[in-house]
Structure 1
Amino acid sequence: ISSKGRRSRSIVLALLAGLAIASAFGWIFTRIWPDTPSPLHLSFTLALQTQSISYINANHRLTISPDGKKIVYVVNRGEKRQLYVRSLGESEGKLIDTTEDARAPFFSHDSQWIAFGQGQELRKVAVSGGSPITICKLAGTAFYGGDWGADDMIVFVPDYNGGLWSVPANGGTPEPVLKTDVDKDRVSYILFTLASGHAVSANDLDVAVLAAGTSEPRILIQGGSNPRYLPTGQIVYIREGALLALPFDLSKLAVTGTPVPVINGIEKAWGGSNYSISDNGTLVYEPESGRKADRIFGIVDLKGNVQPVPAAHGNLDEFSISPDGRSIAARVFSVNDDIWLYDIASGTPLRLTFEPLDEIFPLWRPDGKRIAFGTRTGTIYWKSSDGTGQREELTRGEYPRYPVSFSPDGKLMAFVEIHPSRQRDIWLMPLDGNHQPQELLATDADESDARFSPDGHWLAYVSNETGQPEIFIRPMNSSGGRKQLSSAGGVRPVWAPSGGELFFLKGEQVAAISLDGQGNASGRDRVLFTVPKFEDLEVDPQARYFDIMPDGRHFVFEFGPPVGSPTTHYNLVLNWFSELKSKTAIR
């Protein structure tokens, strides 16, 4: 990469995001900061907008401008997620118009622009105001972050497992900088934190550098994440909740000396921790809070009573119950997502997948002998449920795919493909013969959550064709059109084992509707119970994954810390570079 200035000589850069700072400290900045030669530590409370929460996206919480004068952050207001920008000397943030669903914002090198991901585009907007401008199209839908260099080149991560790409800030066609390489066990980059395909935790990440004109990264630090090169000639990075620093020779692109802890007690997050540093030495970070992070499984009866699955906890995500009701297959969210099995009686875990890339959306085959799972790169595999043997490829596509249902006889698999313009589509694939998948539902609406009925005659699914997600069914073996079953919204349909009832989530409630043999509803859907809480844990209102036990009388939910619980306490250090110098001085 051609470059000007220190930023592009080394591409060891930090992944940045947003934070809101309490208005009570605005006057401290305007009166003290310019005249303060020594570090000034401040502790403050975050004052959030009414009925809003800061958007938490992995470690994208803190973004301070290079000149140290502004912050950019994301706020959720109901179903809307929008960008706000705020001067540190002002009492409130300012909404940036037309930034709905923005992700991972970051500043330009001169602090005059803010770039961010929005849908399948990388966009920018002037800090002074105006409409956002498209920089380029993105190859994925989960933009992960970027850095805007002094040469007006942007290096970014378009999606999980998406490698590193660059594009001129004025717009153009993205060019690969460092691609995902499964053969070299190099599958995920969070800017220049490098994750191997076998990484499990943040301690398995490495800090790497890529010299101009080369194609192979050089590992600088083993066991570190969230790196940042500073004007002081040092690299800082995160390990185990501490910010460490060590000298970096920019001419040789090499570290020298021994790492020194410079800030302890930073809140741990997936892939590292949350901090941001301006070019003139203002440090903002989230201190350790002691909040719980793990999720658990809970078995819930028809009255809403919860019985936790013993010992099973972690960064759990989508899951599937085995046909015999004895095990749960779940994706465990980590640096490299894998599928794990949990014994429902004991909670004993067993790791199923070890390969590079993320494995997502596990699904048991009806006979319980295999578990299928998707990837973010468009391939669906399955593997023996006892963990033996190698995974086998079932289908491969251009866009991310994941399995959602097997027909009762195991001869058909329904899967979802995430299309960049049509959102989610539902496909069917025969598991004997030529294995050639066919589109079943591929409209401009978002279609997902397909479930075969126990007799295989019907397919339940979710579509937002009416303007909101609703439950539909359609026949599989006869002519006839679709039928809408839910009356005021619904997601996550699951069939009762008898096939005469369909359960689904309706807002914060579990609802059911009875069906006759022709798929006709016997009356309107009815609410069974409100999705319960367990102690201080609750079900994620955005994901709301659940499944039904074989007895048809119990469900399994995931319970975790309240989603979007606002971080209200932050630490701010003015003139932090002088403190850094004293802590790293050779003694």
Structure 2
Amino acid sequence: MSHTDRLTLALADRYRIIRHLGTGGMASVYLAEDLKHERQVAIKVLKPELAAVLGAERFVVEIKTTAALQHPGILPLFDSGTADGFLFYVMPYIEGETIRDRLNRETQLGVDEAVRLTREIADALDYAHRRGIIHRDVKPENLLLHDGRALVMDFGIALAVSAAAGGRMTETGLSLGTPHYMSPEQATADKDLTARSDVYSLASVLYEMLTGNPPHTGSSAQQIIMKIITEPAAPVTQYRKTVPPHVAAAVARGLEKLPADRFATAKEFSDALGTVGFTQTVASAASNTRAALAAPRTRIALAALPWLVTAAALAWGLTRDTASSPPPVTRFAIARSGNGEPRDAAGSPIAVSPDGRSIAYVGSDSLGGLWLYLRAIDNLVPQQLAGTNGATAPVFSPDGRQLAFLQESRIKAIDLGSGSISPLLTQLSTNSLSWGSDGHFYFTDGGQLLRTPVSGGAVDTLLKTLPHPDDLLRWPDVLPDGRGVLLTLVRGGSPMLALYHSGENRLIEFGIGGMYPRWVSPSWVVYAVSGGTVVAASFDVKTMAFTGPASPIADNVRTGPAFPIKGGVGRDGTIAFLPGSEGGSNELVVTDRSGAVQQRFVAPDRSFFGEARFSPDGRRALLAVIELAQTNRRALWTADFQARSLSRLTFDSAAFGQAWSPDGRYAYYSTGATLRRVATDGSGKTDSLFTSPAGGISEIESTPDGAAVVMRYYKVSSGFDRDIGLVPLDGRSPLQPWLNTTFNESAIDLSPDGQWLLYSSNESGQSQVYVRRASAVSGRWPVTTGRGGATARWGARGREIVFASGDSMTAVSFTPGEEPTIGPARKLFADQTFLLGGNATPWDVSPQGDRLLTARRWTEDGRLQIEVIANWFAQRSPTGK
């Protein structure tokens, strides 16, 4: 039973859960109907990892102290309690947006409006302060705008959680307060917070409303907190000259480091904002002196923080700036369960910042959803990057301030200081990307090397003709100033090192077997060789040549399809990677609906499984097998469940998007833009059926009568947009577009009767599953609204839809009609070793709906860790010895 289903049952006597609204730092929020009072309410449910260590009874007692707050600027508490292990509290459901929503849209507010809202919030805070209640978590996300006025939410929640936890917050992996808005005393774990702490937080919010950023930013909570403690905030007028002097002075006083130097009450802060003649009475020089004198104490106080560094990582971090002796080689692992657990993903799921101080990686939240996480080397707790759900292929900017990533087939970037996300390349989909210091993205497409400005613009083709027609280019890494690009050249299925020489406009082949080369300052190239070993060799960027032999740095490094390593390399040489065997899903399993494994197949040597499809009678499966280092890189195989055997079908150079014919006698597949058919009796007989004029064919579905196929194809001319169309197999009729949109449609599945089409689309901003009538011009119904999901399949002969989201498999009933009915979600199972996501859809549902077929990577316990190696070059000379 899913988390939402359990909650629905637990609260069924009082509330009817309508839908999930979102998840914050401490709780998930649901829209519900209060059955007794017939009104809509918002129910906040504390995260399981937090609720697990709280004393439930004390939490309920502590939160009651906020129920007595009755002020027009405070969102009241209606109810609270426990049910089936859930800790929850109930508030009114108010139509509106938070200040965070407003800032995300507009960046800054008008000065008059920002001051007015701040004074309204200050009035609400002062009311609570006079009753002895401190908010402790004043931030834009907790400030609601309704009919133009400000409402303070979650009043006293942080206090209730802190008191109920009894000092055990570190067990949850969570922290109270949000780093950007914490007061210095809150950041140093002072237990006795006063109204002056909330004043500091509110001044930080006003600072952001005026300037577009909070007073202190950084790539990690640790960096932000150190700045809050030791660095004075820049005057608001430095960023916005139109801020009146009295407002700037009030903000400056509200942000003083010492509580005694701030306003004593929120009312005093509000009055100062409204007094034109107000000036800052505390000299900035004196304030800076006090901050400097306080620095030793605050550094000691940092020892009490829940995000303390490990001893090994701290020692490494401190020695990096020491010139007296080379820092020691350091190796450690990042292992985490629950929120922030590392996961594998397409391409390389890990990136290391240029200075080696931060690692970005694909991880899962407590419910199995995939996000990008940022972890400073000297920080135990990773930061989930908001807005990156479903993102893969992280790449740091050359200055380390931004992180590019692939999300819904679009390249986006997040500013690691402000957290703002912007689309960079809306017409580019690639996980083989390098961000050059010359202001360009470099990427590969088949045998081409291309470049486009980061800010947008035309795509330049740097290399489009290679020595051999079947040569492929992968994983570019730009040398300083774009003078060259390191590349993986794939020839005959084997990877080797190459370089594009910008000055001479030619490809240089080094004659060295290897993959995923990465330049390390000042004179190294790190790359992987067969068997999962990472080596380093000295390299001269002036002559574009290797100058010494390679020596090993790490072994047991996981690699993947198309020859990436499942890791990242910083310009300083720091390496972070997932350990394990090369390849991807090395096992194919048949399970029942609970996830219990009934049968398994092991991939051929140095190969792994891709897409999988049950035969129409459910006795066999059609499999994509990706061969890591063979001439035939991608082939179709069949699995016979009764004989427990695997047999190869195709011997083309590539085979994509396989599907069965309705009678099971043939398998359809594509070799790029050509649709082909192969007999499944083992004879090897193949036919070419259709060549797409638009571009490559990536997915195929046969109609029930076998007269046509539905296919997903991409249009090279329009930036690789993916669309869906139907191709009759009479050899005469042209492609008939079914879905031709600006969005990316994928993971198609035609219902057994051919009347309905399942597909995924990013039209909502995230991957969602939809169902529509086959070939209909309009009308489509969301299947996974509010739940997300990358892929779906028909089950129970078209009367059920099964979809994958994160590491979970979920089913909903489907009743066709003029307005089809989609039933409530029923979670079938969750397993982190199963590969359920992505457009390739490496899973399927049997025609009877009683079995599932999925590819997985088998490990001892299914959990991954990230291994980190730093300063490996300390024991190597520039000649590589």
TM-score interval, smaller chain: 0.7 to 0.9
Structure 1 SS opposite 2:353: coil
The alignment status of 1:370 with 2:656, answered yes or no, reads no
Which residue, 565, 571, 575 being the options, matches 2:868? 571
Provide the residue aligned with 1:144 in structure 2: 432
Matched, 1:166 2:451: yes
Aligned to 1:217: 507
Go from structure 1 to structure 2 and tell me whether the alpha carbon gap of 1:219 and 1:341 turns closer, same or farther (over 3 Å shift).
farther
Paired residue total? 542
Partners of 2:402 and 2:774 lie apart in 1 by: 52
- For residues 321 and 415 of structure 1, the distance between their equivalents in structure 2, rounded to whole angstroms, comes to 18
With a CA cutoff of 8 Å and minimum separation of 6, indicate the structure with the bigger relative contact order. 1
2:622 aligned with 1:329, yes or no? yes
Q: Aligned pair in 2 of structure 1 residues 169, 443: CA closer, same or farther (>3 Å)?
A: closer
Matched, 1:196 2:495: no
Considering fraction of residues, name the structure with more strand. Answer: 1
Checking the alignment, whether the CA contact within 8 Å between 2:724 and 2:737 is kept in structure 1 is: yes
Structure 1 residues 87, 119: closer, same or farther in 2, change over 3 A? same
Q: Residues 217 and 384 (structure 1 numbering): CA distance in 2 closer, same or farther, change over 3 Å?
A: farther
Q: Is 1:178 aligned to residue 473 of structure 2?
A: no
Q: Is the 8 A contact 1:23 1:92 kept in 2?
A: no
1:235 paired to 2:494: no
Partner of 2:843: 545
Deviation (angstroms), 1:208: 0.7
TM-score by length of 2: 0.52
Query: Is the contact made by 1:182 and 1:197 (CA closer than 8 Å) also made in structure 2?
Result: no
Asked if residue 284 in structure 1 is aligned to residue 575 in structure 2, the reply is yes
Q: What is the Cα deviation at residue 222 of structure 1?
A: 3.8
* 799, 802, 820: which one aligns with 1:502: 799
Equivalent-residue separation in structure 2 for 1:452 and 1:366 (angstroms): 12
Q: Which residue does 1:7 correspond to in 2?
A: none
- Equivalent residue runs for 1:300-315 within 5 Å: 300=591, 306-311=597-602, 315=608
Mapped contact 2:618–2:846 kept (Cα < 8 A): no
What secondary structure is seen at the aligned counterpart in 1 of 2:320? helix
Q: Larger helix proportion, structure 1 or 2?
A: 2
Cα distance change on mapping 1:284 and 1:447 into 2, 3 Å: closer
Counterpart in the other structure of 2:854: 558
Gaps of 5+ in 1: 1-17
3-state SS in 1 of match to 2:733:
coil
Q: Aligned-pair RMSD on alpha carbons? A: 4.7
1:32 aligns with 2:319: yes
Q: Any idea what SS the aligned residue of 1:40 has? A: coil
2:535 to 226, 240, 244: 244
* Match in the other structure for 1:187: 472
Deviation at 1:113, TM superposition (A): 4.3
Which of 736, 752, 755 aligns to 1:453? It is 752
Where does 1:440-519 land on structure 2 (aligned, <5 Å)?
A: 440-442=738-740, 449-453=748-752, 458-462=755-759, 472=771, 474=773, 492-494=792-794, 502-505=799-802
Are the equivalent residues in 1 in contact too, given 2:559–2:582 (CA < 8 A)? no
SS in 2 for 1:28: helix
Shift of 1:115: 3.6
AA partner of residue 217 (structure 1): L
CA shift for structure 1 position 411: 1.0
CA offsets 1:202-227 (integer angstroms, 9 cap, x no match): xx211111222555523214431121
Residue by residue over 1:154-208, the C-alpha shift from the partner in whole angstroms, topping out at 9 and shown as x without a partner, is: 3234x6x373222344543221222376962113422244353642xxxx21111
User: Which amino acid is the alignment partner of residue 457 of structure 2?
Assistant: G
1:425, 1:448 within 8 Å by CA — same for their partners in 2? no
The alignment status of 1:208 with 2:503, answered yes or no, reads no
One-letter code aligned to 1:388? G
Preserved CA contact (<8 Å) 1:426 1:450: no
Distance 1:372 1:466, change over 3 A: same
Tell me how far apart the structure 1 counterparts of residues 649 and 338 of structure 2 sit (CA, whole Å). 44
Distance 1:133 1:352, change over 3 A: same
What residue identity is the alignment partner of 2:328? L
Corresponding residue number in structure 2 for 1:427: 725
- In structure 2, the CA distance between the partners of 1:483 and 1:294, relative to structure 1 (3 Å rule), is closer
Query: Is the 1:72–1:84 contact (alpha carbons within 8 Å) kept by the matching residues of 2?
Result: yes
Shift of 1:431: 0.7
| Greater radius of gyration (CA) | 2
1:41-81 CA-to-partner distances (Å, cap 9, x unmatched) read 33434265952334533452443333333433444445865
TM-score (norm 1): 0.74
Return closer, same or farther for 1:401/1:42 CA change in 2, 3 Å cut-off.
Answer: same
Separation (CA, whole Å) in 2 of partners of 1:350 and 1:180: 36
SS at match of 1:67: coil
Range with greater deviation from structure 2 (458-467 or 64-73): 458-467
Instruction: Letter of the 2:709 partner, please give it.
Output: M
Per-residue displacement from partner, 1:89-108 (whole Å, max 9, x unpaired)? 45555565655554423334
The separation in 1 between residues aligned to 2:769 and 2:739, in whole angstroms, is: 15
DSSP-derived class of the 2:711 partner: strand
Task: Check conservation: 1:475, 1:482, Cα contact below 8 A.
Answer: no
Q: Residue 194 and residue 422 in structure 1: after superposition, are their counterparts in 2 closer, same or farther (change >3 A)?
A: closer
Q: CA deviation at 1:424?
A: 6.0
Choose the corresponding residue for 1:154, options 432, 441, 444: 441
Describe the shift of the 1:61–1:581 C-alpha distance in structure 2 as closer, same or farther (beyond 3 A): farther
**Corresponding residue to 1:380 among 675, 682, 705:** 675
Q: Is the 8 A contact 2:610 2:842 kept in 1?
A: no
Letter matched to residue 259 of structure 1: A
1:109 and 2:404 matched: no
Q: 2:689–2:731: 8 Å Cα contact kept in structure 1?
A: no
Q: Paired residue for 1:405? A: 701
Query: After superposition, what is the alpha-carbon deviation per residue over 1:406-438, rounded to whole angstroms, capped at 9, x for unaligned?
Result: 233321212234688998644222111523121
1:553 deviates by 7.3
Q: Aligned AA for 2:395?
A: F
SS in 1 for 2:598: strand
1:185–1:425 CA distance, 2 compared to 1 (3 A): closer
Partner of 1:360: 656
CA contact (8 A) 2:638 2:646 kept: yes
Among the aligned pairs, what percent are the same residue? 19
Q: Distance in 1 between matches of 2:465 and 2:618?
A: 38
Secondary structure of the structure 1 residue equivalent to 2:875: helix
CA positional deviation for 1:242: 1.7
